[in-house]
Structure 1
Amino acid sequence: MDFRKQKLSIAEAKEMDMVQYLSLLGYEPSKIRNNDYWYRSPLREEKTPSFKVNRKLNRWYDHGLGKGGNMIDFGIAHYGCSVGEFLNKLNGRSSFQAPLKSIPKRENEPEHQLKILKEVELSSYALIRYLKQRKIPVEIATQYCWEVHYEVNGKNYYGIGFKNDSGGFEIRNPYFKASSSPKDITTIKSGSKEVAVFEGFTDFLSLRALHKNLTENSQDIVVLNSVSFFERARPFMEKHQAIQLYLDRDATGQNLTQRALSMSTKYIDKSSLYKNHKDLNDWLIHIGKQPKKRLGNKL
């Protein structure tokens, strides 16, 4: 069944298994005690796990923040979005993980996490075709990505893997979006005084596709891999003289952009380039036949 075509109601979204959803986002429990699954908080930085999901109740509570709730409450806190925007994300109408089918929860059910089996050079016809649909040249993708084979719930899959600074992967294929642990930002350092910042790696690859002759040391790169990692990326970003933001044009991305602009004049909003599209890759797909003409000297 293609979950991307489903339209979840608020009630259905609340019934989605939070433990499995967190696993898709790349978060695995540090410990499990009966029905309580303890995590390092997905909502902030911490060393001692204080974010709890009671799987029987399907409710979460962040002891460090002093707040909790259901799946909807988590989505709003995690992405900084409205209820409607979070439902859109679950329905697959934006670049977030596809929704999970609500499944019966069993007490003390063992955790099924995504396990990386191997990483090889990109060669799968299906993945190459997917890249072409996204208007990303294979020769660019192979510079930064791998073909990752992984296991979930005893079944094997493969996808395009983009490695983060901690060794985890963001994984994409035509039907599935996921992360492997540990989840982190990705930085590409070349000693430049400028840094370009993206939410996801397909937008980064889109910029490389637009400027195939861009030299490697022209810009440093930060791929957040989740907007929740913006604060984690700030120390690296703010070492640079100019910080170019290529964040999504949805409410979450634009709110984060405005917050960054209010913090320092180093931050520069570059999203006007694709103002009529949800993100840079969406813009490239729709007008990718002549991107350089439209792009001009704006980057």
Structure 2
Amino acid sequence: MDFRKQKLSIAEAKEMDMVQYLSSLGHEPSKIRNNDYWYHSPLREENTASFKVNRKLNRWYDHGLGKGGNIIDFGIEYHGCSVGEFLKKLDGGFSFQKTIKNIPKIENASEHPLKIFKEVELSSYTLTSYLEQRKIPVEIATQYCREVHYELNAKSYYGIGFKNDSGGFEIRNPYFKASSSPKDITTVKNASDEVAVFEGFMDFLSFKSIRANEVNNSSDFVILNSLSLFEKARPFLESHKSIRLYLDNDGAGKKVVREALSNSKKYNDHSKLYQNHKDLNDWLVYIGKQQKKRLGNKL
């Protein structure tokens, strides 16, 4: 299947949600009043939030600078680039971006929960391109993921959906990271006596991508979908003879690994595989870039 299409247009870029984009850059609102989201300006240093995004209009205004506009106006100001360069970066999966964070908890969140209204086969160009950026083959992702369309704050979006054991979804796209209720772990059962454990589904898909050509790759899997669900997963994990941990290389992940290793000899830490990287997917992306460089040097 050919997922290629025309490059991202200015009109398409303008439709991208400013609040989600700012969140993907690591900027969260300090207060929310109806449709107005107030931030400490991403464009300068300040102590009082004076940068406003009207989510209904999808426009921003920086009161300190006296400037405002749409997402393209913000992008060229924030990154110091041209319109064409900004569009190219957006289309390539936000290579400018910092760590993606969860969408901020808003004051009336209970009145506007994330609602999924449709799930279909994963085929969107934006989503498949994002997977390719993360070095995940589309044919592997489609075995475990769906394309979910959802509503949040009276707006419609779509993303890669990974279902948990209770029917909720973990949702990812290039600009957003969230989940729908109910929150739970995801188990993949192959009647094996060993199990591999991952924090998130991108790491699970990375593992499946790395092992794609192995004939005998039928262990059980647990994707926690949140490190806080590790205790809930323990009964299933410890019903196996061997438990391989592929958790994130951060403080929280390492703490869980230490506790697990002290609880049972069944646990084995495999994070050394990607010891200089945040997680398994981060390592896979790095390896992919290195291979591309080596190929380029040979040409």
* CA distance in 1: counterparts of 2:32 and 2:216, whole angstroms: 43
Match of 2:237 in 1: 237
* Other-structure match for 1:208: 208
Q: SS at 1:207's partner residue?
A: helix
Question: Equivalents in 2 of 1:228, 1:182: separation in Å?
Answer: 14
Give the aligned partner of residue 43 of structure 2.
none
Q: Which runs of 5+ in 1 are unaligned?
A: 18-91, 292-299
Q: Deviations over 1:80-133 (max 9, x none)?
A: xxxxxxxxxxxx855652445xx6x57xx8611011111100110000000000
Question: 3-state SS of the aligned residue for 2:170?
Answer: strand
Q: Percent identity between the aligned chains?
A: 63
In 1, Cα distance between equivalents of 2:258 and 2:247 = 11
Task: Tell me, yes or no, if structure 1 residue 285 matches structure 2 residue 290.
Answer: no
Q: Shift in Å at residue 280 of structure 1? A: 0.1
Partner of 2:12: none
Q: For the structure 1 residues 122 and 133, does the alpha-carbon distance in structure 2 shift closer, same or farther, using more than 3 Å as the test? A: same
Kindly tell me: are residues 209 and 95 of structure 1, through their superposed partners in 2, closer, same or farther at Cα, counting changes over 3 Å? Answer: farther
| 1:265 has 2:285 as partner | no
Question: Which position in structure 2 is the counterpart of 1:74?
Answer: none
**Matching residue of 1:198:** 198
Is the aligned partner of 1:188 residue 2:188?
A: yes
User: Is the Cα–Cα contact under 8 Å of residues 130 and 173 in structure 2 kept in the other structure?
Assistant: yes
Shift of 1:290: 7.4
Look up the equivalent residue of 2:102 and give its one-letter code: Q
Residues 208, 214 of structure 1: 8 Å contact kept: no
CA contact (8 A) 1:195 1:237 kept: yes
Q: Does the 8 Å CA contact 2:199/2:224 hold for their aligned counterparts?
A: yes
The residue that corresponds to 1:162 in the other structure is 162
Return the letter of the residue paired with 1:244. R
Change in CA separation of 1:216 and 1:176 when aligned onto 2, cut-off 3 Å: farther
Report the alpha carbon displacement of residue 196 of structure 1 after superposing the two structures with TM: 0.3
Could you state the TM-score of these two structures normalised by the residue count of structure 2? 0.65
- C-alpha distance in 1, partners of 2:130/2:171? 13
- Distance in 2 between the 1:145 and 1:221 partners? 15
Instruction: Quote the offset at 1:6 in angstroms.
Output: 4.1
Contact 1:117/1:149 (8 A) holds in 2: yes
RMSD: 2.4
Structure 1 SS opposite 2:162: strand
Task: Give the distance between the partners of 1:250 and 1:121, measured in 2 at CA.
Answer: 33
Q: Measured at CA, do residues 251 and 16 of structure 1 come closer, stay the same or move farther in structure 2, by a change above 3 Å?
A: farther
Give the Cα–Cα distance (whole angstroms) in 2 for the partners of residues 216 and 177 of structure 1: 33
2:267 aligned partner, one-letter code: Y
What corresponds to 2:23 in structure 1? 3
Tell me if 1:145 matches 2:145.
yes
The 1:127–1:223 alpha-carbon spacing in structure 2 relative to 1, beyond 3 Å, is same
Q: CA deviation at 1:288?
A: 2.5
Match of 1:126 in 2: 126
In the TM superposition, 1:46-195 aligns within 5 A as 94=99, 96-99=101-104, 105=107, 111-195=111-195
Aligned residues: 208
* Residue 186 of structure 1: how far off its partner (Å): 0.1
Task: Give the aligned residue type for 1:286.
Answer: Y
Going from structure 1 to structure 2, the CA distance change for 1:95 and 1:258 (only over 3 Å counts) comes to: farther
* Structure (1 or 2) with the larger CA radius of gyration: 2
Q: Distance in 2 between matches of 1:16 and 1:274?
A: 39
- In structure 1, how many angstroms separate the alpha carbons of the residues matched to 2:163 and 2:277? 26
Q: Aligned partners of 1:125, 1:151: CA distance in 2, in Å?
A: 20
In 1, distance between residues paired with 2:198 and 2:261?
A: 15
Give the secondary structure class of the aligned counterpart of 1:150.
strand
Measured in 2, the distance between the counterparts of 1:187 and 1:4 equals 28
Preserved CA contact (<8 Å) 2:247 2:279: yes
For residue 194 of structure 2, what is the amino acid of its counterpart?
E
CA distance in 1, matches of 2:192, 2:217: 6
- The question of whether the paired residues in 1 share the 8 Å contact of 2:249 and 2:279 is answered with yes
**Cα offset for 1:153?**
1.4
- The answer to whether the Cα contact below 8 Å between 2:25 and 2:98 also exists between their aligned partners in 1 is no
Greater relative contact order (Cα 8 A, min sep 6): structure 1 or 2? 1
Secondary structure of the residue aligned to 1:225 is coil
